[in-house]
Amino acid sequence: MSEEDKKEAEEKAVEDTSSNTDAEATVVQQAADKAAGEQKAEAEDKVEEAPAEPIEHTISGVIGRKLGMTQIFDKDGNFIPITVVEVGPCTVLELNDEPSKVTLGFAETTEKRTNKARMGFFKKAGVAPMKIVREFGTSKNDPYKVGQTIGAEVFKPGDYVDVSGTSIGKGFQGGMKRHGWSGGPAGHGSMHHRRVGSIGMSADPSKTLKGRTMPGQMGNKRVTTQGLRVMDVDLENNFVMLKGAVPGHKSGIVSVKLSRKKTWRDLNEVKAVVQHKVNPMKQSKAKAGAKKKGK
């Protein structure tokens, strides 16, 4: 083999080696890029799965639906009558700064059942039309934004709430049922068992004054029950268990607000026994009397 052929063979071998090295480097780089991409995707998934920080709610209340009454038992075995209220999910529709208020919507409905003015309001907020729209006060609007949902996390066991709803209508009723009159004489011949009786006056003022307790429409009015205690909260189903009765019929819409008169108290708190002061003079007289009787 001549020297020129040897040089050509050596150059060809070097070219083959460099090409193989480049191919291997490309494969290694692709594998590294793939591994880096997988690690980045895993990191993003972990960030998405990380639980969000709990919101410090400043809203005074939410809209709910009365589901019915049942009873639970405390640690001593005493039964407690409770009302189950489904609070939310409520959607934030609007935020007002002065004064600080949040407009909430509850129970989605169809566009067909919504008038044009209200439908324009929902489209501006970018949410589905809601059946019930109400406004609640807040200390600040920072934790909330339009489109956000709020539920039972506003309350916690031990809170006191005020519940407003429309009472059950009972039609036209007499004064004894409506106002608790005692009634007239029950003997024969009185002719005045359940009647109204005198309602006016003589020549002065010659009229029936307003506010007189009379027969009439009973119920079907806006009623607020104050100081109901939250016994338990089901965050998964947005249920709140309230001790006592709530105004309205089953499936009735109610507003549940944190009480202004009472603050949170631990459910396991034991009431302190009040020891009344005893008059020492009365004690000495009682001892003297007991000794005298003993003699």
Domain assignment of residue 29, yes or no: no
Identify the CA nearest to 133 among candidates 119, 153, 145: 119
Boundaries of domain holding 161: 61-171+217-258
* CATH at residue 88: 2.40.30.10
Least confident of 7-11, 53-57, 118-122, 232-236: 7-11
At 131-190, the pLDDT tens digits run: 999 999 998 888 899 999 999 999 999 999 999 999 999 999 999 999 999 999 999 999
Res 26 pLDDT > 80:
no
Q: How many domains does the chain have?
A: 1
Specify if 6 maps to a domain: no
Residue 97 maps to a domain: yes
The verdict on residue 271 lying in a domain is: no
- Residue 152 is assigned to a structural domain of this protein: yes
**246-272 pLDDT, tens per residue?**
999 999 999 999 999 999 998 888 777
Per-residue pLDDT for 3 more than 90? no
Average pLDDT rounded to a whole number, residues 79-89: 93
The first and second tokens of residue 189, run together, are: 């011949």
What is the Cα–Cα distance from 16 to 25, expressed in whole angstroms?
14
Instruction: Report the pLDDT value the prediction gives residue 205, as an integer from 0 to 100.
Output: 84
**Is residue 242 in some structural domain?**
yes
Instruction: Answer whether 125's CB lies under 8 Å from 94's CB.
Output: yes
**Structural domain contains residue 2:** no
Instruction: Establish if 87 belongs to a structural domain.
Output: yes
